[in-house]
Structures are given as C-alpha cells and as structure tokens.
Amino acid sequence: MKFTTPATTNPIDRLQVIGKPTDRIDGPFKTTGTAPYAYEQHKVAPNAAYGWVVGAGIAKGTIRRIDTRAARAAPGVLAVITHENAGKLVKGKYNTAHLLGGPEIQHYHQAVALIVAETFEQARAAAALLHVEYAPVNGVYDLEAAMNAAGPASKDKAKSTTKVGNFEAAFASAPVKLDATYKTPDQTHAMMEPHASTAVWQGDTLTLYTANQMINWGKKDMARTLGIPEENVRLVSPYIGGGFGGKLFLRSEALLATLGAKAVGRPVKVTLQRALMMNNTTHRPATIQHIRIGATREGRITAIAHESWSGDLPDGGPETAVNQTRLLYAGPNRFTQMRLAVLDLAEGNAMRAPGEAPGMMALEIAMDELAEKLQMDPVTLRVVNDTTVDPEKPGRRFSQRRFVDTLRLGAGRFGWNRRNPKPGQVRDGRWLVGYGMAAAFRNNLVMKSAARVRLERDGTVTVETDMTDIGTGTYTIVGQTAAEMLGVPLSRVTVRLGDSAYPVSAGSGGQWGGNSSTAGVYAACVKLRENVAKKLGLDPAQADFSGGMVRAGGKALPLEQASREADVIGEDTMEYGDLDKTYQQSTFGAHFVEVAVDAATAEVRVRRMLAVCAAGRILNPKSARSQVIGAMTMGVGAALMEDLVVDKRAGFFVNHDLAGYEVPVHADIPHQEVIFLDETDPVSSPMKAKGVGELGICGVAAAVANAIYNATGVRVRDYPVTLDKLL
C-alpha cells in the first residue's frame, strides 16, 4: 500500500484501543524471567558451548604472530577461532572495521579470537593462555589535535555544508552577537543486556538468536560476511534488553558465535564481556561545535552558523550535530558545516538521537547565552524565532509544527515566571537553586514496513512482522493497531516479532519504529479486512469491524465465521515514495529543569523535570511516557556524568565498564513530568503518529546546564558538567 497524504479518516481514529494507556503485553514475561533473551536459548540449544571473546591489546598495527597451542590444550576447550582459521570474511555493509581483526588491527579491543569451551569459565581461563604478538604503529586519538586536518564530513558536499544568504556579512553587522565553542564527549550506549548471540547451524543453514534492532540489515550482512545465500540465514530476536543504537548492526559476538558453532559442530553462545563493550562496539563520537548567532536588539536572529567536528575510523561518518540548526530557528543568513577527522578509536555510530542529541546540547546553551546578552527571556527568544517553513528551503513546509505551543504550555505548567533571570541569586539553605529550559527537536523519519495478519479459526488474530521490541513497547502498539483495525479486544491478538521468517519491517532505530511498523500492520489489516469481507460475501468498502463482528448492507456476522474452514490472511507493505521531498517532518518540544547546586561542594542535584512533546498521535501514552522519562534520564547522564575518557597515547576508552562509566541511578532522578500535546499528523502515516522516544533526550542536557548557570553564574560549555568545572 502506498501512503498518500493527507491520511484520511480510518478505523484507527476510533481510538477504542489505540491512544489508551495500556500495559505492555511483554511485561509479565520479562518480570517473571520467562522471556528468553539471546543468551538464554536453553530450549532450542540445550547443548550450547560457550564462547569468550579476546579483544586486541593495541589500537593500531598488526598481529605479528598468534600462538593458540596452550589455549587449545586447556581443559574443556573445543576450538580457538582467529583470522588464521576463520576462512574468508567479507566486511559487512554496516560495520566500519572488520568484526574479526587480524592481521590488521583497526581499533583497541577489536575481536582477535574466540575461545570455545564446554563452560564459560573454561573458555575464560583458556583466553589467558592465548599468546598474541603485536606490531603496533602510532594512531591518532585526539579530536582536538586532529581538528585542523579534518576534511568535509561527506563526499556529498551539500550534506556537509549548507549556506543561505551571507552569514559572514550579516554576523559582522549584527547588533548582538554570540560566538562560543562547545564540547561533547564520546558516549556509550551502556544498555543492560550486552551484545549476545546463540548460533545454531543445521547443515548449511544458520539460525542466529541475537539481540538486534534491525533484523533484515543483520540477516543481509551476515550472509554477505560469510558469502552464503541470504535464505540460509535466519535471525531471531524476540526480546532485547536495550539497544539505543548499539544493536542496529551485527557486532563481533554474532559473527564469532556463528564461526564457533560451525567449527565445533554444535550451538555456541557468546556474550560480549562488559569490559569489551565500550571499545569493541560502536559509540557516540565526541564533538567540538562552534556556534555563532547574530540578532537584532529585539531578538530576531539575522545570522546563524553552526560548525561541528567529530572523528571516526577511515571510511566512517560524522556525528551530524548540525542537523537541528538547519531546521529549528528562522533567520535569513545561515551556514552549517560538519568536518570529519580520521581517528583510530573504536567505531563511531548512532546512539539515541544521533546528531540532534549532541547538537542540541550545544545549540540550546548558545540560545541561553544569546537570551542573556539580549536581556530577554529564553522562552520568548525561541518563540520570536519560530518558523513555519524549512529555513534553508522556504518552499518546504513542516507537516506539523507546534513548537511554540510546547514552549508556552511548559512555561506555564513549570512555573517558569518564578525564575530569577539574574544567576546565583536563589538560596535554599546550603543549595543554590536555578531554573533552565531548552527546546526539544528531533526529525521524524518514515520507513517502509511490512506485516502479515492472520484471522485464526478460533477468531483470534495473529500478527507477524520482523519488527523488534527493544524495550520500547512495540509488542503492545502492534497489538493495539491490529485490535483497533479488526474491532477485537487486545486480549484476542497475538503478536510475534523479531524473526526474519516474518515480513520485513522498518525495524527499531532513530525513533522511526513506532509509527512506521504500526503503519505496516495497518496496511496488512486493510488487506485482511478485504479478504474477510469477500469470504463472507460482504462489500469490503462498506464493511465495519467492531465488537468481534463484521457489518455491511444490513448483515452482521461474527468475524470468525470467515475463518471456519481455513485461516484468512492479510499481508502488505506500507510505502511512502518521496514524501519527504514535499514536507519536512519533525517532532518538537520543550524541556524545563530545576537544579540545586551545593554552594560549598558544587554537587548538582536535579530537583524537577518537565517535558512537553508534540509528536503526532500518541499510540500508547503509558509506554510513550516511559520512553520519554527514560530519554530524560539519559539526558541527565549526558549533562552530568557520561564521558568515555580517551587515553590519547594508547588510543582507547579508559573507563570501559559500568563502574567507571557513570549513568544516573534512581537516586539521581527526581520528579519527572511528561505532557503530550493532543495532536495528529496526517502527513506522517495512516497512524498519524510520529517518533517520540528520541525527542525526549534532545535538549535535556542543555536545560540542565542552563539551570546550573542560573543557579551558580558559572557557564560550562564542556560536557559533562562535573563539579570540578563549577568550583
């Protein structure tokens, strides 16, 4: 089905099941420990052997010699896989470095061997006996030092640089100017479940139980890496313990489990050890961002420039931190640019709202600084610079843009008028108290997505799609969509996800999954409704599905009558064509934060947080709220704690475990409130929904930093805002 805009009225609009706060249907399985994760496939692979991954001890160079004899002779060891016996492996499309290093080493902790043994402990013990001799060479690990050598971020120049009007001239003559540089550190996803896979071979056919957000990408890339037909690869990923972009692609544990299982002729399971995750997998790259804004005395932006530098391995990509600056505020003279340095650290790639998350960390402090120079309220400054069109391409309108509504509603609800605009003035005992705010902005992507819906003979409905639920609530919104479309209660719908045997979905990433995957289920349900009506001899155009009945032309029949002799199936793909050429689709919001800073120690406590989100129809307000408060929590981590510290001599992230890489715990997070604007976006899909999870993180860190400035008068432009920077 091809989506044509605007979406017309359809059964989803009845909102009998969709739009209602609904408990996650996978919740009880997870909380009772009965949801099998990738490493827990005891039922299908009871005899699985254990793998232990060995990571490279240098960041760049070659393996001169690898001696596996002692490891192979150790108790319980079944095989040792290295580049010398792995066979020919083609690099996948989505990984920048080879997943199994050797003889060339491209980054620290790149996998160089897998030890397979009867038990986990035996594999670990044997790993200590593996002897690898390296020939290291010097690498480049310091973004700041590599800045001047950084080239355009993309071969497509239009993508790395945009220019409108004459920024330099307009900035030079602007009566009020802001010119500042901001830094965001490398960050890691730090999801609860590490990368994990259980590989089972039957003849030439691989079944890989794996924690993966994008089943079809993973299936294709595994086939490509091994040089086998795609139909010989099946990926199964029904439950995933968090991803945040770290599980968008195959990682080394998936390939090594597969190679190990082939070598020992039985299933092998591998979980990437926590201490390898930061340097072995992908991370959010650090950025240096230079922002210049010129404005009239009334606060109208006349010139805005945002330049961002980041680094990645050769052939890698940039952190697209200027994305939001191309779209968020008006202003006739504009310049944005991304430059990319070659760094020999682990691969940079997507992490929760790639681009906008670190971009908003910089832009929204810059706006706070500009407001102060103008002696203008920060909320008002943003309202004054709102735009209804893409400011770089004025012919393109936003499908929906209720940014100003989120600002006004948030300011009222938060009590923003109680803020003292002069910093360092408000005391509460030993605490300095401050308010801060920031805009929220994240693009809304739509991806084609397919599903199969079956009316079973007992009248229940089964939905199958290779869509994943990474803890986001997909099972539930997919089930709600089918229930709404077919007029049955949610309890009569069974949802099957995360299996490449099912139709190819949008997958989970970039906050496109919720709207896109349910739109695919919608398309399949439209097909099923037609097939049911036809079987019952009813006019499909007239048929109304509700209360488990189908009604048309004065007749009313129970739904299951259609499936008495055989199941009835509907299968389809929702496709969008070049919808994004006509409309700019984005999600908007506002974050408000109250902090207290200890006047003596500079310890920061977040006291109160509010997010207002304009993100189209909210399919399940309960799971959407969970997504947003999770993202707000991650934003507090970005503001105050998260920092992968680079050893600039040896070339690795030093704090590569969850003891040294700090993220917020419950005690760090105060009262959080989330308000969703009541809106629908008829341009986004027949669901009229948009992404919301990633919107929840964009801007939070800047709101915290701005609140700290309001509390203390200390402006920190270098994240995280740790207490040493405040004293």
Among the listed ranges 171-179, 259-267, 346-354, 702-710, the one in contact with ligand MOS (CB under 6 A) is 346-354
How near is the Cβ of 214 to ligand MOS at its closest, in Å? 8
Sign of CA dihedral 616, 620, 625, 627: negative
CA atoms within 13 A on the CB side of 39: 16
Among the listed ranges 20-28, 251-259, 347-355, 531-539, the one in contact with ligand MOS (CB under 6 A) is 347-355
CA angle 404, 406, 408 (to 5 degrees): 70
How near is the Cβ of 352 to ligand MOS at its closest, in Å? 4
Tell me which of 307, 319, 347, 694 is the catalytic residue.
694
Enumerate residues 6+ apart whose C-beta is below 8 A from 633. 664, 669, 672
C-alpha closest to that of 209 among 445, 14, 40: 40
Q: Is 102 helix (H, G, I), strand (E, B) or coil?
A: coil
How near is the Cβ of 522 to ligand MOS at its closest, in Å? 22
Q: Spell out, one character per residue from 175 to 214, where the chain touches ligand MOS: x when CB under 6 A holds, - when not.
A: --------------------------------------x-
What b/e readout covers 567-592, taking b as 16+ CB neighbours within 10 angstroms? Answer: ebbbbbbbbbeebbeebbbbbbbbbb
Neighbouring-strand partners of residue 605: 596
Alpha carbon distance 519, 689 (integer Å) = 9
350 belongs to the binding site for ligand MOS (CB under 6 A) = yes
Omega of the bond leading into 332 within 30 degrees of 0 (cis):
no
How near is the Cβ of 446 to ligand MOS at its closest, in Å? 15
Q: Which is nearer to ligand MOS, 245 or 436 (CB)?
A: 245
The DSSP annotation for 326-357 comes to: GTSS--SEEEEEEEEEE--SSPB---SSTTHH
**Do the Cβ atoms of 525 and 533 come closer than 8 Å?**
no
Neighbouring-strand partners of residue 462: 454, 494
Whether 694 is a known active-site residue: answer yes
Among the listed ranges 6-14, 61-69, 107-115, 242-250, the one in contact with ligand MOS (CB under 6 A) is 242-250
* Tokens (6 digits) for 330: 């008006």
- Report how many residues bind ligand MOS under the rule CB under 6 A: 11
Q: Which is nearer to ligand MOS, 523 or 700 (CB)?
A: 700
The DSSP annotation for 188-251 comes to: ----SSPSEEEEEEETTEEEEEE--S-HHHHHHHHHHHHT--GGGEEEE-S--S--TTTTSS--
How near is the Cβ of 642 to ligand MOS at its closest, in Å? 15
How near is the Cβ of 357 to ligand MOS at its closest, in Å? 9
Q: Is 441 helix (H, G, I), strand (E, B) or coil?
A: strand
Sign of CA dihedral 128, 131, 132, 133: positive
Residue 279 CB coordination number (10 Å)? 24
**Do the Cβ atoms of 238 and 35 come closer than 8 Å?**
yes
Site for ligand MOS in 503-532 (CB under 6 A): 509-510
**Do the Cβ atoms of 189 and 244 come closer than 8 Å?**
yes
Site for ligand MOS in 650-689 (CB under 6 A): none
25, 322, 351, 438: which one contacts ligand MOS (CB under 6 A)? 351
Q: Which is nearer to ligand MOS, 39 or 244 (CB)?
A: 244
Among the listed ranges 220-228, 241-249, 264-272, 295-303, the one in contact with ligand MOS (CB under 6 A) is 241-249
C-alpha closest to that of 558 among 491, 492, 487, 493: 487
Enumerate residues 6+ apart whose C-beta is below 8 A from 568. 454, 455, 528, 531, 532, 535, 562
In single-letter form, the type of residue at position 155 comes to K
699 belongs to the binding site for ligand MOS (CB under 6 A) = no
Q: Which is nearer to ligand MOS, 433 or 631 (CB)?
A: 631
CA angle 14, 403, 721 (to 5 degrees): 120
Q: Which is nearer to ligand MOS, 243 or 423 (CB)?
A: 243
Among the listed ranges 116-124, 243-251, 361-369, 658-666, the one in contact with ligand MOS (CB under 6 A) is 243-251
How near is the Cβ of 695 to ligand MOS at its closest, in Å? 12
Among the listed ranges 38-46, 89-97, 344-352, 545-553, the one in contact with ligand MOS (CB under 6 A) is 344-352
Q: Which helix (H) or strand (E) holds 443?
A: strand 431-443
Phi, psi of 383 (to 5 degrees): -65, -45
How near is the Cβ of 351 to ligand MOS at its closest, in Å? 6
Among the listed ranges 239-247, 261-269, 489-497, 659-667, the one in contact with ligand MOS (CB under 6 A) is 239-247
Site for ligand MOS in 244-273 (CB under 6 A): 244-245, 248
Enumerate residues 6+ apart whose C-beta is below 8 A from 309. 143, 147, 150, 287, 288, 289, 338, 339, 340, 341
In single-letter form, the type of residue at position 27 comes to G
The DSSP annotation for 375-429 comes to: T--HHHHHHHT--SB-TTSTTPEES---HHHHHHHHHHHHTGGG--SSTT--EET
Torsion of CA 488, 526, 683, 446, to 10 degrees: 90
Site for ligand MOS in 352-391 (CB under 6 A): 352, 354
Q: Which is nearer to ligand MOS, 352 or 454 (CB)?
A: 352
Comparing every residue's Cβ against ligand MOS, the nearest one is: 245
22 belongs to the binding site for ligand MOS (CB under 6 A) = no
How near is the Cβ of 470 to ligand MOS at its closest, in Å? 8
Q: Which is nearer to ligand MOS, 143 or 351 (CB)?
A: 351
Q: Which is nearer to ligand MOS, 59 or 692 (CB)?
A: 692
Q: Which is nearer to ligand MOS, 240 or 524 (CB)?
A: 240
How near is the Cβ of 560 to ligand MOS at its closest, in Å? 39
Q: Which is nearer to ligand MOS, 49 or 248 (CB)?
A: 248
Alpha carbon distance 650, 105 (integer Å) = 13
How near is the Cβ of 54 to ligand MOS at its closest, in Å? 28
Q: Which is nearer to ligand MOS, 487 or 510 (CB)?
A: 510
Q: Which is nearer to ligand MOS, 208 or 248 (CB)?
A: 248
Length of the chain: 727
How near is the Cβ of 509 to ligand MOS at its closest, in Å? 4
Q: Which helix (H) or strand (E) holds 257?
A: helix 252-264
Residue 373 CB coordination number (10 Å)? 13
Phi-psi category of residue 386: left, alpha or beta, with phi > 0 → left and psi -120 to 50 → alpha: beta
Q: Which is nearer to ligand MOS, 354 or 479 (CB)?
A: 354
How near is the Cβ of 356 to ligand MOS at its closest, in Å? 10
CA angle 713, 717, 720 (to 5 degrees): 100
The catalytic site residues sit at 694
- Interacting residues with ligand MOS (CB under 6 A): 213, 243-245, 248, 350-352, 354, 509-510
